[in-house]
Chains A and B, each alone.
Chain A
C-alpha cells in the first residue's frame, strides 16, 4: 500500500496541573491524549468515535496545530510536522484544514461570508492571485450549495446548516488534501444533518479529500467512514474497517458503546442485548493502572490492573483471518455481535433503491444552477433581510 498521507505515532497531550502563585509546582496532569497511533490514507475517511472527554477533539486540534503535542509524531507524507516552524509549517498547514462543530461561534459575526472564506488567501497569498480571489470565493459558495450572490452577507443571515456549509467552504479554500472535521453535524437538526453529510461525501469525491471525521454519533460515523477508531480516556482502544468494528467488535468498551446506541427500529427492542455500563468515565487526571477501561469493565481480572493492553490484533484472532482479526487493546478480547443485522426490507429506513418513488431522488452534484442546490430553496427561507431574524423568532418560540 502506498505511504499514508498522515501518520500519527505515540501522540500525547498532557495539560499540567499546578499549585502556587509565585513558585508554580506541577502536581499532576490532565492526560487528555495519552498515546494515540493511527494513519490516514489518501482519499479515505477515518472516523474517530468516543464519549465526551475521551480526547478526540484534542487530537483534532493537534493535527491542525492549534495545540502543541506534549510528545509524539504527526507525519504528513512522511515528515514530522510537530518539529516544523515558520515557513515550512505554514506550507504544511495549508494542506490540513479544519471544519468546526459549532457553526454559530466558529464564524466571525463581524465579517462577511466573502471575507471569512477569503481570509485564507490573505494568509496564503500564493494560493490565489489578488484579483482572482472574489471569483474563487464565489466558486466555493457554489460548490457547497450556497448562492454565490450571498458573498456580502453576514453569518447571522444564514441558518445553522447554511453556516456549516460556509465553514466547509472556508476549509476548502486552500484546496487542502486533508480535512479534519470535529463534530461537523452534531449542532444541526436531523433533516439538515443529512444534507451536510451528503455534501461532505460529494466533496470528498470531487476534491479527492482525506477526512478525519470526529463524532460521538456512532451511526453517522459508520455512514461516512471507511475505517473507525474508538477512543476511551485518551487512547484508541479498537480500530478497524467499519464492518469489523460495528459487526465484529472485540473490545468490551466498543461493545457497550454500540449496544447503548438507540436504533430507530422498535422491533429491535426485543432482539438487542443491552450492555449497561456502571459508573462514570474516570477523571483523566487519575487514569486507572493497566487497562484504563477496567474500572467499568465486566470482564476485568487481575491482569487488567497490572498490564497495559497493547493495541494489536489479539492473539486468539491472529491466525483466524476474518473480520474479528483487527486491532483491539484488550487482554480478554472476544467477538460479540451487539448490533443485530438489519433485516432486508424491514422498513422505509432501509432507503428505497435509487430511482424508485418520490423519496429516491436524494441530492446530487447536479442539483441545478447556483442557489438551486439542496440547502437553498429560494422559495422557503433564503437569507434575505427578513430571514435574518428567523433564528430569533424560532428561539423565542421554542422558549429554551
Chain B
C-alpha cells in the first residue's frame, strides 16, 4: 500500500474547548488508485489531508494519536526536514482556491520553476524550460508566452491547471486534491477532472480526492470513504456504495440530492445539523439525526464493522448496517 493512515486523531484548541476534528480515521490508497473522501464541512476530511501532507497548523491543531505510513515509513515520526523532502517529490497537494494558493507577485513560470531549482538543483534557465513543458502538459494554450504571466491573468480553470502542473512537477507518487473543482463552473470542472484522471493513469499516481460532491465521486473514484464528525462511517468500492449504502448517513446523503436525470419528488432531508466538534454526541455521532437510531446507538460508539454480506471489501460504522444494507 502506498499510503496508509492508521487510527489518526487530531484535535484543535478553541475558545470553546477542544474540538475533536479527527477521531480515529484509517484509510489507505494504492498506487494508481483513486480514493474519494466524502464529507460535509466540519467532517474532518480536509484536516486529515493536511495532517498527511504535514501542513496542519500546530497550534491550534495537534495530532494526538495514530500513524501515517507512506511507503512504509511513519511520517509522523520524521523530522521536519525529511518531511519536506517527502512533500513535493513523494506527495503533493492541489487546493480548492487556486487564486489564493498561488503567489500573486511571482509569474507562474517562476513558481513552477521553483519546484526544480529547490528540489532538483536546476539552473533558472532549465527550470524555465521545464515550466513551459509542464504548462503544455496540462494543456495551457500558448505556454511559451504565458509562462511570463501572473496568476491573475489566467482564468479560474487555467489557474487550477497551473496548480495541477505544480503538483505533478516532481512526479509524486501520491496527489491529494482538496475540492479541486468546487470553485469552477461545470464545463470547466469536467475539463479539469478529465486532466487529473489522465495524469493519474499516466504516472500511476495514487489520488486522494476530497470532496462533498457525490456526482464527482461517482465519476472518478475507485473507492469511497464517507466521513462524519471526524470518523469514517462507511468505506466501499464506488459501485457498491451507490447501489446499496450500508450506513444511514450515506443513504441519507444519496437520497437528499436532486437528480439530473429525473424530475424530483420531495427530497429526503436529513433532519438537524452536523454536530459541533466540541460537543460530539455520545455513542454514534450520527444518532440524533438518524431515522434508525435505537438505545444502543446513544451509548455505544460503533466500530467500523466489516460488511460481510458484500462480495467486496466494505466497512460500515453502524450497529445496524445489515438492516441499512438490505432495508
Contacts and interface: CB of A to CB of B under 8 A. Distances in A.
Interface stretch (A23-31, A84-92, A109-117, A264-272): A264-272
Interface string B278-292: 100100000011011
A377 B293 CA distance: 15
Nearest to A373: B271
Given A51-B185, A258-B260, A341-B261, A190 B214 contact: yes
Nearest to B216: A262
B194 A276 contact: yes
Nearest to B277: A397
B269 interface: yes
Contacts of A358: 248, 291-292, 327
A393 B215 contact: no
A223 B267 CA distance: 9
A51 B269 CA distance: 27
Contacts of B47: 397-399
Given A269-B219, A342-B261, A377-B289, A349 B187 contact: no
A381 B40 contact: no
Nearest to A52: B185
Interface stretch (B112-120, B144-152, B238-246, B311-319): B238-246
Contacts of A310: none
A387 B276 CA distance: 8
A378 B266 CA distance: 24
Contacts of B158: 280
Contact of A262 (B155, B213, B252): B213
B301 interface: no
Interface in A275-299: 276-277, 280
A219 B260 contact: yes
Contacts of A223: 258-259, 263-264, 267
A342 B262 contact: yes
B274 interface: yes
B260 A359 contact: no
A71 to B, nearest CB: 28
Interface in A340-383: 340-342, 347-352, 354, 357-363, 374-375, 377, 379-381
B257 A349 contact: yes
B243 A374 contact: no
Interface stretch (B56-64, B69-77, B130-138): B56-64
B257 A347 contact: no
Contact of B264 (A191, A224, A389, A390): A224
A394 interface: yes
B98 to A, nearest CB: 14
Nearest to A362: B266
Contacts of A387: 276
Interface string B50-92: 1000001100110000000000000000000000000000000
B143 interface: no
Contact of B256 (A190, A216, A357): A190
Interface residues of A, number: 77
B289 A194 contact: no
Contact of A280 (B19, B155, B219): B155
B265 interface: yes
B267 A263 contact: no
A161 interface: yes
Contact of B242 (A264, A276, A341, A342): A264
B274 A189 contact: yes
Contact of B187 (A194, A277, A352, A375): A277
A239 B16 CA distance: 51
Contact of A277 (B19, B191, B193, B251): B191
A377 B271 CA distance: 7
Contact of A381 (B61, B157, B213, B272): B272
Contacts of B278: 393
Nearest to B47: A399
B270 A191 contact: yes
A377 B263 contact: no
B259 A268 contact: no
A100 to B, nearest CB: 19
B251 to A, nearest CB: 6
Given A349-B255, A380-B273, A399 B61 contact: yes
B269 A348 contact: no
29 contacts: A190-B40, A191-B40, A191-B252, A197-B258, A218-B260, A219-B258, A219-B260, A223-B267, A256-B187, A259-B190, A262-B189, A262-B193, A263-B261, A269-B218, A269-B219, A274-B190, A277-B187, A340-B261, A348-B243, A348-B244, A348-B254, A349-B257, A363-B266, A363-B269, A377-B272, A377-B289, A381-B276, A389-B16, A393-B15
Given A264-B218, A269-B219, A394-B19, 10 more contacts: A262-B215, A263-B215, A264-B214, A266-B242, A276-B194, A349-B257, A358-B248, A358-B291, A362-B269, A363-B266
